[in-house]
Amino acid sequence: MIRFAPRTLRAAVVLAAALGACACSTPDSRTDSERAADRAITRQIQAALRHAPYLDADHIEVETTRGVVRLSGLVGSDVDLRTALRVSATVPGVRRVVDDLELIEFGRTRGGG
């Protein structure tokens, strides 16, 4: 068994924490116009989801980065899931829709993908 001095172990933990913090805080490299376009797409998708007939979109989150839309949150049926993806894909400026939705159906869950 390898034994580490407390000082070495402490340094390794601090280094790992610092690297983890840096990895999670990458700067946003989008231009102001790209950010504005992404915000507009997000707002349009949120409005389209709210107005889609028979879709409960209260628990759907929308994030857009350079036209790639990520839907996350909860939907209550497979029909809701497909509707949310379809409605989002029809908004002008959307390049791709990433399904990160979780289907909650009769107490069972299905992860996004």
State whether residue 60 is helix, strand or coil: strand
Residue whose token pair is 């172990």:
9
d(CA 10, CA 17): 11
pLDDT digits (tens, 9 = 90+) for 56-93: 999 999 999 999 999 999 999 999 999 999 999 999 99
Determine the 3-state secondary structure of 98 from DSSP.
strand
Q: What is the pTM of this model?
A: 0.71
- Partners of 104 in the beta sheet? 109
Tell me how far apart the terminal alpha carbons of the chain are, to the nearest angstrom: 41
pLDDT of residue 10: 62
The CATH topology of domain 29-110 is Histidine-containing Protein; Chain: A; (3.30.1340)
pLDDT digits (tens, 9 = 90+) for 24-61: 567 889 999 999 999 999 999 999 999 999 999 999 99
Residue 65: beta bridge partners? 68
The side-by-side arrangement of strands in the sheet containing 108-110 is 60-65, 68-75, 96-105, 108-110
> Which residue type sits at 107?
G
In the chain, domain spans = 29-110
